Amino acid sequence: MPAISDVLVIGAGLAGTAAAIGLADGGIGVDLIDVKPEVGAIGSGITMQGNGLRELRRLGVWDAVRAAGYPFDSLGLRAPDPAGTLLAEIPDARTGGPDLPAALGLPRPALARIMADRATAAGAKLRLGTRVSSLSQDDGGVDVVFSDGSAGRYDLVIGADGIRSATRPMIGITDQPRPTGMGIFRAFGPRPASVTRTDLYYGGPSYIAGYCPTGENSLYAYIVEDARDRSGLTPAERLAAMRSLAEAYHGPWDEIRATLSDPGTVGYTLFEELVVPAPWNRGRVVLIGDAAHACPPTLAQGGAQALEDAVVLTELLLSRDAVDDDELWSAFAARRFERARTVVEASCQLGQWQLDHQQGDVPGLIAAIAALVSQPA
């Protein structure tokens, strides 16, 4: 008999929807809330690595994800020269196993809808435009008051509300994300035929310029620079700034740049990192995903790590008969903390070598992380 019968999941991102799917499939009553008024309204693309695809398959959404995305098995390295010369084509590790692609790009809104639809089909009750106003717990459960004035009592609350989690301070965890010193322009648009995998251009006026196909007719492209306060830019100025940086990159970038014309498709984000020390719970409230650990996207592992948290937590909750049990939370930390911390640190290291203009062992570090995440979570 599982330790819990009613759970509140705060945040319907990757971590929250994955937890909701697993728990609802296991017969647990799940309320899933998100502050946003709509699921998957807008957004760029995401690269899901094989180990993330393995968890999506376990959650029963692989067919839908495969149909919505664009798989690939290698990484291209190109020079920031007038021809965009292809320097190397490196086979990517199939970290999810030989029967899954090494990576798959897909539009974030499509992934968000697939996950939310699967969670509600499993029985989770999704309420949008809702946040938690207060949480208080005793030995038997957690009392929650919502922003619409309603209230509920749950056996467990899962804070999956992202890097700026409001749940984190509510349970007395004061750790905050830290900027790593880089910022990224991202845009989405049509896929030229020449883009069939991720290519990275190192150097030129920026640290990295790259792109990832997300479907037959779509891709996202990005340029990484020193962190700058670009918050005052209008959408048109943001587009102009990205186009200007992209002038240095050629080959497929020439075709991508030619389609970069809609200011509404360009965003700018600072890279941040966070590792909340274990344990990630305080009593019956636990953090997962970016709320607990977040990394710059240099390894494109944040989404996969969020999914792994959710799947491991679900497995433990469904197999334990007490939630107020240190053994449960020790087991969760043992399976998740070191792995997530190692991924965050490696993601930061890759950026730091560039910031320091230092030649680190990039292939060695990437191979070490691939070996780590190839192991089941």
Ligand X SMILES: Cc1cc2nc3c(=O)[nH]c(=O)nc-3n(C[C@H](O)[C@H](O)[C@H](O)COP(=O)(O)OP(=O)(O)OC[C@H]3O[C@@H](n4cnc5c(N)ncnc54)[C@H](O)[C@@H]3O)c2cc1C
As measured in angstroms, the least distance from the Cβ of 3 to ligand X is 23
Q: Which is nearer to ligand X, 71 or 289 (CB)?
A: 289
Cβ atoms of 132 and 35 within 8 Å: the answer is no
Cα 89 from Cα 197, distance rounded (Å) = 10
Closest CB 327 distance from ligand X, rounded Å: 25
d(CA 200, CA 330): 39
Cβ at position 221, least distance to ligand X in Å:
12
- For residues 31 and 33, what is the distance between their CA atoms, to the nearest angstrom? 7
Residue nearest to ligand X (CB): 13
Longest Cα–Cα distance in the chain: 66
Q: What angle do CA 340, 106, 85 make, to 5 degrees?
A: 90
Least distance in Å: CB of 52 to ligand X?
Answer: 6
Nearest to 343 by CA among 69, 95, 112: 95
Provide the 3-class DSSP secondary structure of residue 285: strand
DSSP secondary structure string for all residues of 148-191: TS-EEEESEEEE---TT-SHHHHTT-----EEEEEEEEEEEEPP
Q: Which residues contact 48 (CB under 8 A, 6 or more apart)?
A: 56, 65, 69, 103, 104, 105, 106, 111, 300, 303, 304
Specify the residue, 28 or 104, whose C-beta has the smaller distance to ligand X. Answer: 104
Tell me whether residue 160 or residue 275 sits nearer to ligand X (CB atom): 160
Report the nearest approach of ligand X to the CB of residue 367 (Å).
18
Strand 156-159 and strand 6-10: the pairing is parallel
Minimum CB separation from ligand X for residue 16, in Å? 5
Q: Which is nearer to ligand X, 47 or 314 (CB)?
A: 47
Rank residues 3 and 10 by Cβ distance to ligand X and give the closer one: 10
Q: Which is nearer to ligand X, 46 or 223 (CB)?
A: 46
Residue (79 or 352) nearer to ligand X, CB: 352
Please identify, using beta-carbon distances, which residue of 47 and 95 lies nearer to ligand X.
Answer: 47
Of 303, 257, 327, the C-alpha closest to 114 is 303
Tell me the β-bridge partners of 125. Answer: 31
CB 341 → ligand X: shortest distance, Å?
A: 14
CB of 70 to ligand X, least distance (A): 13
**Residues contributing to the site for ligand X (CB under 6 A):** 10-16, 33-36, 46-48, 52, 131, 160-162, 166, 184, 269, 289-290, 294, 297, 300-304, 306
- Backbone dihedral angles phi then psi of residue 124, each to the nearest 5 degrees: -70, 140
CB–CB of 250/84 below 8 Å?
A: yes
Task: State which amino acid sits at residue 344.
Answer: V
